[in-house]
Amino acid sequence: MSGPFTTRVLDHGFVHLRDSMPSLTGQKPVEGLGRGDFRIEEAARVSTSHLPNDVLNEIGSEREETRAPEQTKKLIKYMFDHEHATPFEQVKLTFVAKLPIFVARQWIRHRAGAFNEQSARYSKLPCEFYVPPLERMQSQSTSNKQGSAEQLTEIMAKGMQDLIHRSAGRAYDEYESLLANGLTRELARMVLPTNFYTEWYWSTDLRNFLGFCKLRCDSHAQYEIRVYANAMLEMARAVAPYTVGLFCERHGFGGANV
C-alpha cells in the first residue's frame, strides 16, 4: 500500500491524505502554485476588497482580477515571513493514520486540530505492535536527555528486539486471557503496552499543520513521529506546493522549491 497520498510508516503503520480543502481533484499546479496556495492568496486579498473572479461573475460584477503567479508568490512569501498567518488557516487537511500509541500520545499534544480514534472499549485490538528495526536500536544519548545516540551492537540489538517482541506478545496473550475470562474490554486493554497500534483521523489547517511539522520534522523530535511528519509534509506539497516549499526552505528541511 503506497501511492502519492498513502505512505507506509514503521512496521505496521501508514498515513494517508484523506482529503483537503481546496480539493486536489483535477488539480494542475500553475508555475509551482497549487490550489491551496491560491486559496491562501484569495483569503488574504479580501482584506483589500479583492474577490476571486468566479465569485465576481456569480454576483454579476463586471470587475475582473488578473494576477501573475509571481505576485501570488510574493504575497505568500511576505505573509509567511511576517507571520500574517490566518490566511494559511483557510487550507484544510485530513489524514488517516495507523500509529503506535506512544506516537499518538506525542501527536495529540497538538491541540489545534480534530481527532477521531479507534476505540479499544468498543472492539478488541488486533495483535499489532511496533518493534524498532535493528538500525533504530540505539543507546540513550548522554548529551540530549530525550534523545538517542549510537547504534547498539548487532548482537545486543537483536537480543533487545526479541525481548520487545516477547514482552508485547506476552501482554497480548494476557489481554486475550482477561477477555476470555469475561473482563470488560475497557479494562482488559490496560495490560497492553504503548507500542500497540491505534488508528485515527486527524484534521487540521495548513497553519497548524506546518507548526506541527516544524516541531516534529525536526531532528530533536523522536524518530517514530518524525517519519509520520515527513510523510505528511510530502503529501501536503500536492495541496500547496509553493507554501510547503517555502516552509522547507525557511526551516532547513529537504524539498525547498523557492
Ligand X SMILES: Cc1cc2nc3c(=O)[nH]c(=O)nc-3n(C[C@H](O)[C@H](O)[C@H](O)COP(=O)(O)OP(=O)(O)OC[C@H]3O[C@@H](n4cnc5c(N)ncnc54)[C@H](O)[C@@H]3O)c2cc1C
Report the catalytic residues.
216
Binding pattern for the stretch 144-183 against ligand X, x by CB under 6 A and - elsewhere = --x-------------------------------------
Residue whose CB is less far from ligand X, 84 or 185? 84
Q: Which of 215, 234, 249, 256 binds ligand X (CB under 6 A)?
A: 215
Closest-CA residue to 233 (of 95, 106, 138, 45):
95
Q: How many residues bind ligand X (CB under 6 A)?
A: 10
112 scored as a contact of ligand X (CB under 6 A): yes
Q: What is the C-alpha R_g of the chain?
A: 22
Residue whose CB is less far from ligand X, 74 or 251? 251
Q: Which residues does residue 203 pair with via DSSP β-bridges, in sequence order?
A: 94, 114
Which range touches ligand X (CB under 6 A), out of 36-44, 51-59, 105-113, 238-246? 105-113
211 scored as a contact of ligand X (CB under 6 A): yes
Shortest reach from residue 89's CB to ligand X, in Å: 11
Q: Which of 208, 234, 250, 255 binds ligand X (CB under 6 A)?
A: 208
Closest-CA residue to 41 (of 240, 235, 232, 236):
240
109 scored as a contact of ligand X (CB under 6 A): yes
In this structure, the number of other CB atoms found within 10 A of the CB of residue 146 comes to 9
DSSP code string of 122-152: TSPPPS-B----GGG-EEEPSS-TT-EEEEP
110 scored as a contact of ligand X (CB under 6 A): yes
Closest-CA residue to 167 (of 207, 130, 137):
130
Does the N-terminal peptide bond of residue 241 adopt cis geometry, omega within 30 degrees of 0?
Answer: no
Q: Determine the residue with CB nearest ligand X.
A: 111
Q: Are 102 and 33 in contact (CB under 8 A)?
A: no
Shortest reach from residue 104's CB to ligand X, in Å: 13
Binding site for ligand X (CB under 6 A): 109-112, 146, 208, 211, 215, 220-221
